[in-house]
Amino acid sequence: MSVESTAAAGSVPRSLVKSAAVVLASLLLGGLTSFAQSSLGPLDPLANSSSGWTLLTALIIWFAREPTLPSAVFGPVSFVSLVLGYTVAAALRGLTYNPLMFGVIGLVVGPFVGVAVAWLRCRGPRAAAGAALLSGIAVGEGLYGLIVVSRSTGWFYWTAIAVVGIALLVVTLVKRSVAARDVLLGAGGTALVAVAFYATYTSL
């Protein structure tokens, strides 16, 4: 057997192991969010929000350390697994949860989140675009939370997630992209995604 054949044969189990790890980690974390959503105090919304699940998905994909295409696949796989884990945990607690809406959101948004995370390891426009998407989601839901639901949930989490989003953008631009066009791409992209997120959520 040639070296190329041996490498190809070895890559299949490795990819399967990583895929299984992404699914299992997502199911576990999704289940934990169900138990945690009323025990985190000011951070309770973290366990039941789009930005919270996007953050968990991004962290799982970041640690998987895969290039763009596999990360694009891991995105929806992780997000949907988080939703399913949450659903199972809710059922174990005697609660009813319909995973359809967030499952569909995960399928649609997941590939973009996966690509964005992979691009954070790049330099230049890709890094700026990746940061813009993730930061825009964080800032957009932060604004939505502060304006629409903070009376019932408090303001702390929504402020914190917006600050995290802005910090991610700034750190990425400083470390990965110093060109003026990339700064404009990152800042403008973040604003566009945030506005689109807010508009979409208020229309649901």
User: What confidence tens digit (pLDDT) does each residue in 17-27 have?
Assistant: 999 999 999 99
- The single-letter code of the amino acid at 121 is R
The owner of tokens 């502060």 is 146
Q: Which residues in 121-136 are b (16+ Cβ under 10 Å) and which e?
A: bbeeebbbbbbbbbbb
Write down the domain spans for the chain: 1-110, 120-204
Q: State if pTM tops 0.85.
A: yes
The owner of tokens 């890094």 is 127
Please say whether the beta carbons of 24 and 85 come within 8 A: no
Indicate whether 3 pLDDT > 60.
no
For residue 148, give both structure tokens: 């629409």
pLDDT at 107: 95
For residue 35, give both structure tokens: 């138990």
- pLDDT tens-place string over residues 133-180: 999 999 999 999 999 998 888 899 999 999 999 999 999 999 987 789
Instruction: Report which secondary-structure segment, H or E, holds 41.
Output: none
